[in-house]
A and B are shown apart, each in its own frame.
Chain A
Amino acid sequence: MNLFFLALGFGVVTASVLALASVGLSLQFGVTNFVNFAYGAYLAFGMFFTYTLDVTAHVPFWLAAVVATLLTGLVSVVVDRLVIEPFVRRRTSPFFLLIVTFGLQLVLLNVIQAVWGVGFESFTTGTGTPLHLGPFSITGDQLGIVVLAVVAMVLVHLLLTRTTLGKSMRAMSDDSSLAKVSGIDTGRVTMWTWFVSGCLAGLGGITLALNTVSFQAYTGNTFLFVIFAAVILGGIGQIYGAMLGALCIGLAVELSGLWIPGAYKLDVAFGVLVLALLLRPQGLIATVGKA
């Protein structure tokens, strides 16, 4: 029973990391209507910007994380403007955009390797002593991850429901041309979408690095299919679906650790992905005509 609560606690932490990353991916997916296969590299950017600021420049960790998050958002916008947007403007079909982002993945990950090297790194925060909260036992870092994720989710919710930008994003997600004829500046909304998506990817990367303690350039990329699983389980382009999907996958992954060796626990996410595609390809929260 003790072990169960331990795994449940880790499950919530993994779900938090996953929620940050998958909401970012889902938001961009919804607005632009194609998958960004380079998303794993954005997670790595978040990790390594934080690493440079934290370890090399000795900036306080929280400040490093904030700056790195914003920088990752900026990278996301720049990459979109330089590479993806020209293809979109030329009306390249989503089919070829997938290949473009797949190529970007290779380019960006190798840029990261060239700049920061191939070795495993870790932040200066250390692992910390576990806190005992009732039956749960998690480190201060992990508690921070959960709190951060909850705050970020509330902020995303407020962004989407209370601001004009958020409402425009939802409008574009529903019907991009209808949004355009209604006078929404789709170019601007797309740019902000990439920024928010990049920021969430950065945060996801930083929290992932905190959770796994040591990380390298490909850490985010190996996590990518878990993010995909959460996004597809929730329903493509569905923000709240992605949160729900992240929670399911996070818990499934960590609780499965009770029965199967830890090296394979992420593979459980693949099992969930396959089941989701076979049984409910439209996702838990379905949209008409999106699957």
Chain B
Amino acid sequence: MSVVLGYVATLGVYFCIYNIFAFGLNIQFGYAGILDFTVITFMAIGGYIAGVAVLPPEQRGTEIFYVLGWNLPWPIALLLGMVAAGLLGFLIGLVALRRLRSDYLAIVTLASGTIVYDVINNYNKLFDGAAGLVGVPQPYTSVFGVNPNTYTWYFLAVSAVIMLVCWYVANRIYSSPLGRTMRAIREDMDVAEAFGKDAFRVRMLAMVIGCMFVGLGGVLTIAYVSALSPAGWTTGETFVIWAALIVGGKANNWGAVVGSFLVAVLFNEATRFLPAIPGSPNLVSDIRNMCIGGMVIVTLWFRPQGVVPERKARFPQLPVRGATTPVSVAVGATGGAGSAG
């Protein structure tokens, strides 16, 4: 019984982490219309930096290499991980967010992700190359007790609190003037700039804040799993987060939550229990990835606004001369983010 409960708690932790990822991507894509095709890279950077900040200095002669090794406590490592992810987002944004076509932006993010992956995978002095970091001490095991099943519940509680803080921040950003500017830029960058908004600055903010969210999720991941290697963050993983947001409903954090639950937890986890087909051990995971890609395409076709659509902006009804019914002026309406980017 306790095994099942432990598993449920593990799913709960993943649910919280994926929620944070989806909030981060939502700020970038849903709010500001930035096509970030390498979300998982920021998760990895956050995770790695937090990991090496917590780990003791590398031992000579063990053939395990990593940078830093500062023995720091987890809360500081968490901040470091977030800052590192935000910094990488800033650097990528410097190139990607210049006034270019949205396809350029997507290409730059995708290419940067490939490069970061390539360097981390090949250059083993950074985070031990393809082997990745292992044995990162889990946070406060001595305080919570080392029984893995009860520990998971404590971890779930902590990540739920962090997730709720993220939820609060993400929603505050949405309704803040900054969030409104982001959405205006998403709908029409020229109009927003004509009203004196600095599109580059606002989009950069969205990029960096989003990356910090994703990095935070990465820190939680490595804290929970206590290991991270390049095999764990491929393009397919980026797409799980995208699928969660698109299926759930972009620009609505409830959508992000619903999508994370449906795609990242229910679909992605449930299919892990399917028996492997003899002779082709990868077939189940291949089909799972096909389904995730297909889900996005199907959602964009049948319900582009997602399961939980973005709330239409409500404004006081203005009486229009000559019209019999009052017309509401909706700016942040759902739908085409075409001209943004």
Contacts and interface: CB of A to CB of B under 8 A. Distances in A.
Given A87-B301, A225-B111, A273-B111, A99 B98 contact: no
A114 B284 CA distance: 9
B150 interface: no
A229 B111 contact: yes
B340 A95 contact: yes
Interface residues on A, range: 35 or more
Contact of A98 (B103, B243, B283, B294): B103
B337 A264 contact: no
B300 interface: yes
Nearest to B121: A263
B322 interface: no
A270 B104 CA distance: 13
B20 interface: no
B122 interface: yes
B239 interface: yes
Is chain B's binding surface mostly helix, strand, loop or mixed?
A: helix
Contacts of A111: 286, 290
B101 interface: yes
Interface string A114-127: 10011000000000
Given A37-B110, A93-B336, A277-B108, A106 B289 contact: yes
A264 B37 contact: no
B169 interface: no
B293 A117 contact: no
Interface string A42-74: 000000000000000000000000000000000
Contacts of A274: 95, 108
A277 B102 CA distance: 13
Interface in A225-250: 225, 228-229, 232, 236
B126 interface: no
B102 A95 contact: yes
Contacts of A290: 101
A278 B108 CA distance: 12
A236 B102 CA distance: 13
A264 B292 contact: no
Contacts of B294: 103, 107
A110 B297 contact: no
Interface in A97-150: 98-100, 102-107, 109-111, 113-114, 117-118
Interface residues on B, range: 35 or more
Given A94-B338, A281-B98, A114 B290 contact: yes
Is chain A's binding surface mostly helix, strand, loop or mixed?
A: helix
B296 interface: yes
B191 interface: no
Interface in B84-126: 95, 98, 100-104, 106-108, 110-112, 114-115, 118-119, 122
A290 B104 CA distance: 11
Contacts of B296: 99-100, 103
A18 interface: no
B37 A277 contact: no
A267 B115 contact: yes
Interface of B: 33, 35, 37, 95, 98, 100-104, 106-108, 110-112, 114-115, 118-119, 122, 235-236, 239, 242-243, 246, 280, 282-283, 286-287, 289-290, 292-294, 296-297, 300-301, 304, 336-341
Nearest 4 Cβ contacts at the A-B interface: A93-B338, A106-B293, A107-B293, A225-B111
Given A102-B239, A105-B293, A114-B280, 20 more contacts: A35-B106, A37-B106, A87-B300, A95-B341, A99-B296, A103-B296, A106-B235, A106-B239, A106-B292, A107-B290, A114-B287, A117-B282, A228-B107, A236-B103, A266-B118, A270-B111, A270-B114, A270-B115, A274-B108, A277-B108
